[in-house]
Structure 1
Amino acid sequence: MKKIITLALAVLAAGATVTTPAAATTAAIPKGFLLYERDAAKKDNDPETNWKVTNSARAGLAVNPCDRSTLAATGRVAARTVTFTGVPDFMKVEQVILYGSRASAASAVAQVRAALARCGARTEAGSSYRYASSRLTGLGDEALRVSGQVYYGKRAGVGGDRSVLVRKGNAVVVYLWAGEYSKPERSDWTVQLRDARKMTAKICDVATCA
């Protein structure tokens, strides 16, 4: 599925225009801190599945409706992204990003909101890919529930992504699933919300939250 392939490339690619301050030498995310790192470390002989872990602070933000490498990139000091892909069209992403300050992290979330508004719909070959988002309460300092979905006119088609983005202190956390979704349902976010709550509960071990 073209949209999912595009998402994977955006998440894994390093944006050449991203800059990180000198503070990057002092910030760190311990090995094994992310929820899916243990799964990613297991030997996988299945040719139809793949795990990838990157520590690049220049990795594309998983929630990126405009597909811009510079989205939420300024001020990053550390990051880790775990990506799982499965044939034919499933992907899940876990991403933890630390910024140099809480203000920089808050600015990153504001940029995501602006991108969702600016690139809320794209039309191609008779279909459109539309984004919708809503605020989540009781999760970190601020949080968003985001859906991307294929539509043919007003009818939802097969293919979409569902994500949860949370900011806590100077950290931004993303859990995204992409696959053969149809019309968005609340149950589509069950696992992403569970994972986001787990990570938010311990993120202050590496982030500045107070």
Structure 2
Amino acid sequence: MATVLVIGSLLGGTGVARAGAAEIPKGFLLTEPAATAGPIVEDEEWWKISNSLSRQFELNPCGTKGKPRDGRAAMRTITYSNSAPSGSSEQLVLYRSTRSAQAAFRKLRADLARCPRRATAKGDTGSGFGYVGKPLRVGDEALSVSGHLYKQGKREREPAELGIVARRGAALFFYTDIGNGLGAGKKIVNQAKKMTKKVCDLPGVCG
């Protein structure tokens, strides 16, 4: 999820995401019922649902751009933001094979090591934003990720963003939270654990 929240009001793309034999049924993601219901407080909360295969991962440590070509078969991303400001996201990516999902997970893990910090402004090496990842026992493999702001070359102790990326079979799924403090960490871990079981209800994902 981007470290700067973009506030906008859009709700669309709520049909079935599919490519070939793979599909994500409507209403499958954990946050989808709330997203399709819309904001509780108008002009204070914003949901967006996208089935685009060309989106970057919600955790994108190197700020990669362009259209990914990593064997994706179906994808759904749900983002939430509010005027606090704070936000969260849920993203499910189905791959054509377990091998492709494994490769995507390895690349993300490598990107976390390759891009520990990005400058937030051109030529400003004293400030920036970067992720720190550590293994997590969820699914077949997973990482717990914290995103930190840097000021004068020093990393702020309190994370600005928390995230989970996990793989189960041929699926990757992401949960992120911005602006809700360390307490949100338990929530997104529990979400990832729920999806670890639920994603196996989809044909071909868990073998």
Provide the TM-score with structure 2 as the length reference: 0.82
| Distance apart, 1:123 and its partner CA | 3.1
* AA matched with 2:97: S
| Structure 2 residue runs without a partner (length 5+) | 9-17
Give per-residue Cα distances to partners, 1:84-111, cap 9 Å, x unaligned: 0111431201011000000000000011
Partners in 2 of 1:130 and 1:166 — Cα distance?
19
Decide whether the 8 Å contact of 1:90 with 1:179 is kept in 2: yes
**Unaligned stretches of 5+ in structure 1?**
10-22
Taking the aligned partners of 1:107 and 1:49, their CA distance within structure 2 comes to 36
How far did 1:179 drift? Answer: 1.9
* TM-score in terms of structure 1 length: 0.81
Residue 44 of structure 2 is matched in structure 1 by: 48
Asked if 1:208 is matched to 2:205, the reply is: yes
Q: 1-side partners of 2:172 and 2:148: how far apart?
A: 23
1:31 and 2:40 matched: no
Moved more, 93-102 or 72-81: 72-81
User: Which of structure 1's runs of 4+ aligned residues deviate more than 4 A?
Assistant: 70-73
Root-mean-square deviation over aligned CA pairs: 2.5
CA distance in structure 1 between the aligned counterparts of 2:101 and 2:67, rounded to whole angstroms: 12
CA distance in 2, matches of 1:3, 1:131: 11
Question: Which of the pair is proportionally richer in helix?
Answer: 1
Question: Contact 1:129 / 1:149 at 8 angstroms: preserved in 2?
Answer: yes
The number of aligned residues is 190
| Alpha-carbon distance in 2 for matches of 1:164, 1:71 | 22
Amino acid at match of 2:150: Y
Among the aligned pairs, what percent are the same residue?
Answer: 36
Matched, 1:67 2:63: yes
- Partners of 1:155 and 1:67 lie apart in 2 by 18
1:4–1:91 CA contact under 8 A, matched in 2: no
**Residue in 2 that maps onto 1:57:** 53
Cα deviation, residue 43, structure 1: 3.6
Q: Determine the C-alpha separation between the residues in 2 that align with 1:162 and 1:155.
A: 15
Deviation at 1:180, TM superposition (A): 6.1
Partners of 1:26 and 1:75 lie apart in 2 by 13
